[in-house]
Structure 1
């Protein structure tokens, strides 16, 4: 291997080496690896891999329903007004699963079909494929494309400071071209590759930044903390000192982290006329998982208390949502009731709308102390929203509460 080749491919090779250590199947075109079969370069999914994975995760699927499941996320079959509309529709199927009718011995009933096994990471097939060529409005060739079960879920564009003056900017610009988001008069790229996409990454050797599909250049962010792991863990895995590129790729693409981020740390929000996809920053990922760990492992109710500090505009409402998503999905917590208290009416409305869009049907609004008592008295699995000012009691209400408390103590 020549020195020039090594320098030009530094960021890409370092990334592929890390995926190898993370136990991905790595297909390297430069090394003449045999690639997964495709009928044509217009085909975005690795269909053979997808069909094999669907059958493995849902072994009861018959051939007819297997074909239906494939077609439901096949870009050519998706009816959408734009890239973000298509991406949201596919995301819901990947996370909420789909339902197909099939007789499993007790008559034809709706059966849940999963594209990804979130509970058992090793039951999925993870592939990192470099130099993936796709035909769209034009031919594009991505540096690294990451697949889960034959579904392309990330594109990584690699640049090097030895050959680029602004490697991050150039990598992101290329990602925007691939998505046909630069606003040029002529269409470009191959946006159907991104219908199933969950992460975009710009990597430049010593560092990297990431964002969801459709994100403007200014919102790409580095990932600086590999929680729940350490830099030493990454160094032990790779045999070299970890830099910021290693930390981001390890933190996002370690298998259990990747599934967690897709399932529990991704939301879509309407901002004006635009649908925006948002994923957690490393601070939110760390805070939510630390909070969840305390809730699950604390010795007493008092030990479950905690505070997460946020600066203004840092995403505290999203942190609440991400934590709520994980709490609701944990089977051992038996579908808990969630109470969300905010200090502004507009924030209460915003969080309520976001919760509804993310699978929390009919969040209830508590009008005050008595109303809250009634709402939490019976059953579980409720999502209750309220604002702090609703609990400013009148003197008469305070006296009634004192009387009630005294009566309860006597009884």
Structure 2
């Protein structure tokens, strides 16, 4: 019985499933049988056949195909100079048929077609297994999909029969570690469309250079909320994503390249974006519906934070690119200025062509009347100046190939602005996108955008539960606070209605009285109440939010409350830590706003603000005016907020930023404003964006009891809102259960025993990978609960047991190799607890004392050998953790993991295990004693190179020598690989990079200099 492993289970299963697809399926050829050499990225013979098949001018003269292939091979090496993403972008232009060469009659430029997107049967599809590749480090890729000899997809699979192995271990082979394919095999990934990883239970795909949080599952929105984690699910995902039609659609229409700013810096980097499956589905449905012409509207209901901006971008690009639509106009409509800015930024960063940001009502009318065929991005308010002419049925533009994409389609569409937009474009298609549809009598998103032909009146639905399951968004928790300061709004409303009835007030009089009296406003802004809330925010933020490295928003009743809260929190946190973002330039502080933050009446200036006697100086007023008036200034403030290193930690708002604002670092919202329905749901979703491991969920601190009756507050079907937001208190019920599950694994272990004896006793209960993996899974559940509640006093009775479990967990946590990723890094609160209370004395720096003479080993009993080995292993692993940033210690960690597995599997005896540990200990002591040796070697290399240059150059050269030497040192280190001197490819490549470096300084013609430099590099690198 051979048992189960990655090769004979999931790897072969995916291979067989793909090769059995009907129609244009994948033919299987093993990697060893491919017509290529290990250093080849493209399979030249297949690519040449495709070039002749798909290009009539090349078919007449097949030698022209060699010119194209030569050009493509030049793009492959671009990754070393421009970076992998940029090289990938350049090759994608070739794959999409966007490049030409002078290969036609009389040297005429012709478009080069590498793939046929219209007739998929004309392409050649091959799935290959265990494909060898030569690079900086040689590799074997588990699965590679070739289209016309071009490797578009690479997959890494891991064993499905070990709990601690996840798809992330496969993904990490691309991203870093020992294999680090994207760096060590960069040329192979220049043509890459996507990579995938699986361990037979879950499946994820990602673009080149994507981090873990950007790897995604591939399902269908119709699959429902619950999807089992098993091999059938993986095979279904693989079949759906990797079928030729889907891959070619993704390549042709969905792979995007965008600019993004690196966190904590002003560095702009290029990234590749691939769609999530809901974006892919909905964008395709929009295009198909427009092309069919039968139904002229549709509702896309995707939960907040799941990427509607990108969905509109994909749809707009596809609509513009489809020749059957005859160059349509696409109008993207939002209902807030900040959303307008966000959409424009999304389109700009992705370099979408022919996008026109509409700046004014006049410009909008002009663009529509003059039949603009661009992508127009506008706010609904720019339709305000449109005058409806009942006698004119053609509006501003009656053309039928106008497609309107309305973001946040639940707002402003039912009123006059919506009517004006529909009159202006009477024959347009209207698609509404929302995470929070409204189904009321007066305002009904389903009636406005939902087609009768669509089941449920929505065209595509991506639910909250699906987005959480897919890790597209985070769950949101809430915690009620300060019950004694709650305002009973219902009681106030009831009292007010009774007062109005007793005085026979008309509705108009009731409204006027309500506005003047402002009872709720007065109660909410009572000085003592505001002080108490500010104190609570300071205490909670300092203890729960700041230690995680995250930030917060405070939502208050109105703009006056913004000013008051700013003053209170600035006194508590310090200058520069808080900022207000609110409407200022359009109205005064006491002017009412509608639910979207737009002033109901114009008014006011500094005089009116000053007359209120608020704690606000003119400087702050002008600064907030600038933030409000200038999108550039506002974006600068928001960039500061998104930057984890910037002291700005709290944003204070009343209406702005409650929709469309995307700041993953925002973890906590302090809510002191009565919100309801879609406005409440949108506001709380400011906290549900993915960040890093310190953020497991979003948190709402509720000062008004908004969440006490969630069904009423959100006004949705209880089935729809189930699980949308949970009370944090539920975690408290789960802590003792999770703790007991962990402790059950150590039944009989005396937890009062410290030192090596106590730790070894605990470790002996985790004797196998299976039990250790079970402990890891159970402790991670406990850790998430613990860190969500810390520093709640509720945890005090459990702290001793939790600390003990955390120390045991840390002592057996893998320090390298497979399975280390599921043992996620300890959170900041847990690390602080371990450091603060570490009372196990196994972490010591006297390893040289523990290194015994090998001759004395044979005098030890078997039990003593085992005990000494365990003790030494504990010290070594502690040392490795302490030096985790040093790659030499990382290798040592992997070696210790292999030794542990061999010993536990019975492959080596306890004495041989101890011998190996002693050898590792000696090497560790040597590393410690010579910690700076590598730096010395590097410096010696540079000094020797400098002397070499001085030897062959004249006296005028030395001032640039240091620059030349640095350049050579960097490029040689980046290019070299073990044994490169003994390979033809390595020799050729190293000579090329040396010549290029010398060319930079016009020294490339100096043969003596080149020969000496190359001889030195061969010897020392």
Classify the TM-score, shorter chain. 0.7 to 0.9
SS of the residue 2:377 aligns to: strand
Q: What's the counterpart of residue 42 of structure 2?
A: 45
Change (3 A) 1:243 1:366: same
- In the TM superposition, 1:198-347 aligns within 5 A as 198-225=193-220, 243-272=232-261, 273-299=268-294, 303-345=295-337, 347=339
Displacement of 1:278 in angstroms is 0.9
Displacement of 1:204 in angstroms is 1.7
What is the alpha-carbon distance in structure 2 between the residues aligned to residue 116 and residue 226 of structure 1?
A: 29
* 1:376 corresponds to which of 368, 379, 386: 368
Displacement of 1:368 in angstroms is 3.7
What is the alpha-carbon distance in structure 2 between the residues aligned to residue 156 and residue 164 of structure 1?
A: 20
- Is the 8 Å Cα contact of residues 155 and 200 (structure 1) preserved in structure 2? yes
Q: TM-score, normalised by structure 2?
A: 0.35
Change (3 A) 1:5 1:59: farther
- Is the 8 Å Cα contact of residues 140 and 178 (structure 1) preserved in structure 2? no
Displacement of 1:178 in angstroms is 8.4
Change (3 A) 1:351 1:52: farther
What is the alpha-carbon distance in structure 1 between the residues aligned to residue 33 and residue 301 of structure 2?
A: 47
Q: What's the counterpart of residue 366 of structure 1?
A: 358
Q: What's the counterpart of residue 100 of structure 1?
A: 101
Displacement of 1:356 in angstroms is 5.5
Larger radius of gyration: 2
The yes-or-no answer on 1:191 pairing with 2:186 is yes
Displacement of 1:180 in angstroms is 7.2
Change (3 A) 1:353 1:390: same
Instruction: Name the structure with the higher helix share.
Output: 2
Q: Which moved more, 1:342-351 or 1:81-90?
A: 342-351
Deviations 1:239-271 (A, max 9, x none): xx9822112211111111111111111111111
Gaps of 5+ in 2: 225-229, 262-267, 394-1021
Change (3 A) 1:350 1:195: farther
The yes-or-no answer on 1:137 pairing with 2:136 is yes
Change (3 A) 1:142 1:315: same
Q: What's the counterpart of residue 391 of structure 1?
A: 383
Q: What's the counterpart of residue 33 of structure 2?
A: 35
What is the alpha-carbon distance in structure 2 between the residues aligned to residue 141 and residue 178 of structure 1?
A: 15
What is the alpha-carbon distance in structure 1 between the residues aligned to residue 71 and residue 221 of structure 2?
A: 35
Change (3 A) 1:354 1:52: farther
SS of the residue 2:313 aligns to: helix
Displacement of 1:7 in angstroms is 6.6
SS of the residue 1:132 aligns to: strand
Deviations 1:10-34 (A, max 9, x none): 01011001111122011135xxxx6
What is the alpha-carbon distance in structure 2 between the residues aligned to residue 212 and residue 69 of structure 1?
A: 26
- Is the 8 Å Cα contact of residues 205 and 245 (structure 1) preserved in structure 2? yes
What is the alpha-carbon distance in structure 2 between the residues aligned to residue 334 and residue 85 of structure 1?
A: 31
What is the alpha-carbon distance in structure 2 between the residues aligned to residue 358 and residue 49 of structure 1?
A: 33
Instruction: Name the structure with the higher strand share.
Output: 1
What is the alpha-carbon distance in structure 2 between the residues aligned to residue 73 and residue 43 of structure 1?
A: 12
- Is the 8 Å Cα contact of residues 177 and 189 (structure 1) preserved in structure 2? no
Q: TM-score, normalised by structure 1?
A: 0.82
Q: What's the counterpart of residue 83 of structure 1?
A: 84
- Is the 8 Å Cα contact of residues 5 and 160 (structure 2) preserved in structure 1? no
- Is the 8 Å Cα contact of residues 83 and 194 (structure 1) preserved in structure 2? yes
Deviations 1:314-338 (A, max 9, x none): 1111111111122122222111111
Displacement of 1:64 in angstroms is 5.4
Gaps of 5+ in 1: 232-240
What is the alpha-carbon distance in structure 2 between the residues aligned to residue 380 and residue 278 of structure 1?
A: 29
What is the alpha-carbon distance in structure 1 between the residues aligned to residue 372 and residue 311 of structure 2?
A: 22
- Is the 8 Å Cα contact of residues 97 and 111 (structure 2) preserved in structure 1? no
What is the alpha-carbon distance in structure 2 between the residues aligned to residue 77 and residue 65 of structure 1?
A: 21
What is the alpha-carbon distance in structure 2 between the residues aligned to residue 111 and residue 381 of structure 1?
A: 27
Deviations 1:186-245 (A, max 9, x none): x96311111111111012223311111111022212112287xx89xxxxxxxxx98221
- Is the 8 Å Cα contact of residues 30 and 129 (structure 2) preserved in structure 1? yes
- Is the 8 Å Cα contact of residues 144 and 151 (structure 2) preserved in structure 1? yes
SS of the residue 1:339 aligns to: strand
Q: What's the counterpart of residue 167 of structure 1?
A: 166
- Is the 8 Å Cα contact of residues 131 and 143 (structure 2) preserved in structure 1? yes
Change (3 A) 1:258 1:194: same
What is the alpha-carbon distance in structure 2 between the residues aligned to residue 356 and residue 13 of structure 1?
A: 43
Q: What's the counterpart of residue 110 of structure 1?
A: 109
- Is the 8 Å Cα contact of residues 129 and 144 (structure 1) preserved in structure 2? yes
Change (3 A) 1:86 1:205: same
- Is the 8 Å Cα contact of residues 8 and 162 (structure 1) preserved in structure 2? no
What is the alpha-carbon distance in structure 1 between the residues aligned to residue 184 and residue 77 of structure 2?
A: 19
Q: What's the counterpart of residue 27 of structure 2?
A: 25
Q: What's the counterpart of residue 147 of structure 1?
A: 146
SS of the residue 2:299 aligns to: coil
